[in-house]
Structure 1
Amino acid sequence: MALHSEPPVEPPVTPLTWRDPKRYLWLLGLVIPAFPFIAWGLVAATGLGVFWWIGVVVLYVIFPVVDQLIGKDSVNPPESALAQLEQDRYYRWCIFAYLPLQYAGLVLGCWLLAEGGLSLTGKIGLAVTLGGVSGIAINTAHELGHKKESAERWLSRIALAQTFYGHFYIEHNRGHHVRVATPEDPASARLGESFWRFLPRTVAGSLTSAWHLEKTRLGRAGKSLWGPHNDILTAWAMSVALFAALALAFGPGILPYLAFQAVFGFCLLEVINYTEHYGLRRERTASGRYERCAPRHSWNSDNVASNVFLYHLQRHSDHHANPTRRYQSLRHFDDAPEMPTGYAGMIVLAYFPPIWRRVMDHRVVAHYEGDVTRANIQPSKRARILARYGAAA
């Protein structure tokens, strides 16, 4: 079976005549790490403490609306331009710039929490806003962590330090990409599984998997699990050092808010994970192995706004087919299942399971042409789902 289907045929074009229509839109991704600065400025200008909650307003209200207003873009870069796109370092700097803004905003946020005279409500709102930045930073780390250059991989770990989620670097690359869209993958949501049930399963399962993967790697290399060669321990050490430095600089009173923003941040990542493979399952071949990952095993969206702010994460099928491919080169596939809106809107629906099921469950069944037994079904809901949708005729 082919690794992936062919994308739509593009008219002949040379690299010199093709221009990326989103080239300068990628800079809009830097609006997110600027959230703390924007909040501070708006509160100072208006005196309204509600602006400390700007992260919630933008992520859960403004972005979903903008996604719908702007619409979709399914245009692919032509094959002749891919090499040029991959080598253009401008796109890398759009990603790199996220990190200094991320940590400048974190320092500002800690100073405001310690010295800004905020009310408890204001402090919680600011912590949520910081968590929005750190959550999207995991997506930035995701883009960097798949690359071959060691500098980008180290930057990925630095981006993860704010959420104490450094094990994601290991589990995502060596675990999720191997087991994606199978019942064994803790990061692939099952049909009938609510986000609130998925969340503890994926958090615990991903950590357990990352530890097992690292233990296996170090065992094969003949190295100790408890030492500097353990990438999980070194990642956690970076987070401990970061939190300790901030506590020393601004007082231990900021630690509860740092913990809160970290939890909010990795929960934001996991709700995006929940949407990406919901109910989709790879079949086993005659040899007993799972078939190779194809476009039909990821939910996609071409909504422009979410794709710009998440570095084309919604072109998820091509990412799984070509993990090292850079975000600007990812392609749309006509045969990939499409979500009704972008990730920004879908994560809001995921928080409300009855609405999510009404929107998505029938799409999963339709994707499998009415044969729900082909889906990745939540075991505790299997009898109910089969009774509702019926087994294959």
Structure 2
Amino acid sequence: MLFYFRYLLKYLIAFILPLLVYLSFQWEEWASFIPFFYAFGFIPLLELFLRPDVSNPGLSEEEQLKANRIFDFLLLLAAGCQFGILWLFLKIMAVEMSNLTFVGHIMSMGLMCGVFGINVAHELGHRKSPFMQWTAKFLLMSSLYMHFFIEHNRGHHRYVATPLDPATARKGENIFFFWGRSMVFSWQSAWKLAAKSVQRKYGTTWSWHNEMLQFLTMQLVWLSLIFFLTSPKVFLAYLLAALLGCLLLESVNYIEHYGLLRKQLEDGSYERTRACHSWNSNHQWGRATLFELSRHSDHHYLASRKYQILRHHEEAPQLPTGYPGMILLAFLPPLWFKVMHSKLDEIRNPVSISRIG
């Protein structure tokens, strides 16, 4: 019982964010930015002092964690929080407020779209259950990023750490350029994947069986409902919040595989994806907040592995700090390049680096 309680308590940390967002909607001026200060102030500062936890559950513990439905329930609870907070956001944004409060509320909702919208959808999208997958799709709809369901599962996981993957950041590429390249070419890749699939099955691209056409229709209907049931001001606020959520996701993409490449074999294919092809962080607060997203190597090793049993791999390259802190560092490209290129050199030349030390 104590074993489960420890893990349950750990992942309840994730729900601090929606609680703070809810409270920020009741506050004004700088207080409305509290969720942002928590995500990019408190957590990065905390993770500078907390030691990373590299421990893995034992085999028997892993089986128990995998079988316990409470961890699936937490994901569904997170989905409920996303839509509950979104409903409240659309309601309060119609009220008169200062420009500073307006921006604060948008940034708070943007965090929800990125963390509880896209990130939780990412976890659910790898499940085999149709219910879980549709929950993932609706969560992605709330952040206007439904193509991610196709591109991530069928594109990114196949081509990660190769020049063929839009979501793998190239060495020397700054985050701002990466945003545009990844967003545009990921959408394009999702369209090609969906078109190829429906063409093979039904002989035509323009079919309702084309998932991208389904997703575009769903998002258009969703946006139309918000537009006609609210106001232009609220509609604009929602678009900006969804955009922030998408940029948060792409910022995470940027740091997850920056500068890492798989070897190309003689036949043109690439070596199998290994733990060394993803950057990891074992900093516990960020891990819990993001439902273990930062144990990314194990996720790519076995995409169906549930978040609560993702494992640390010794060969996985480790980030200097957690994801929130690394995102902040990425916003300072010269400093990012200095830190990360040094880390890349350590990975590629471990003997020479150790001799220099």
Q: TM class by shorter-chain length? A: over 0.9
1:164 corresponds in structure 2 to: 144
Other-structure match for 2:107: 128
Q: Does 1:34 align with 2:13?
A: no
Mapped partners of 1:109, 1:94: distance in 2: 22
TM-score by length of 1: 0.85
Shift in Å, 1:31 = 2.3
1:70 to 42, 50, 57: 50
Q: How far does the alpha carbon of each residue in 1:153-176 deviate from its partner, in whole angstroms, 9 at most, with x for none?
A: 000011111221000000000000
Work out which of the residue numbers 83, 102, 118 in structure 2 matches 1:138. Answer: 118
Letter of the aligned partner of 2:37 in structure 1? V
For 1:358 and 1:20, the matched residues in 2 are separated by 41
Secondary structure, counterpart of 2:339 in structure 1 = helix
Q: CA deviation at 1:56?
A: 2.0
One-letter code aligned to 1:23: L
1:87 aligns with 2:67: yes
Q: 1:370 Cα deviation (Å)? A: 7.0
Are residues 1:263 and 2:243 paired? Answer: yes
Shift of 1:98: 1.0
1:252 shift after superposition:
2.9
- Alignment of structure 1 residues 267-346 onto 2, 5 Å: 267-346=247-326
Structure 2-normalised TM-score? 0.93
Q: Distance in 1 between matches of 2:303 and 2:347?
A: 24
> Are 1:356 and 2:345 matched, yes or no?
no
- Residues 39-95 of structure 1, C-alpha deviation per residue, up to 9 Å, x if partnerless? 033x1xxxx421222232122111111222333111101122322221210000111
Shift of 1:222: 1.1
Tell me, yes or no, if the aligned pair for 1:36 and 1:108 is still in contact at 8 Å: no
Residue in structure 1 matching 2:346, options 357, 366, 391: 366
Structure 2 alignment gaps of length 5 or more: none
Distance (whole Å) between structure 2 residues aligned to residue 20 and residue 77 of structure 1: 14
Aligned length: 352
8 Å contact kept, 1:77–1:329: yes
Q: Does the CA-based 8 Å contact 1:34-1:105 persist in structure 2?
A: no
1:246 aligns with one of 219, 226, 230:
226
| Structure 2 residue aligned with 1:25 | 10
| Contact kept in structure 2, 1:36 and 1:109, CA below 8 Å | no
CA distance in 1 between partners of 2:210 and 2:16 (Å): 34
What is the rounded CA distance, in whole Å, between the counterparts of 1:134 and 1:320 in structure 2? 23
CA contact (8 A) 2:110 2:243 kept: yes
Contact 2:168 2:257 in 1 (8 A): yes
Between the two proteins, what is the percent identity of the paired residues? 34
Residue in 1 that maps onto 2:98:
119
After superposition, the CA RMSD in angstroms is 2.0
Distance 1:225 1:31, change over 3 A: farther
- Taking the aligned partners of 1:97 and 1:224, their CA distance within structure 2 comes to 39
CA contact (8 A) 2:13 2:285 kept: no
* Structure 1 residue 112 displacement after superposition: 1.2
Q: Is the 8 A contact 2:198 2:207 kept in 1?
A: no
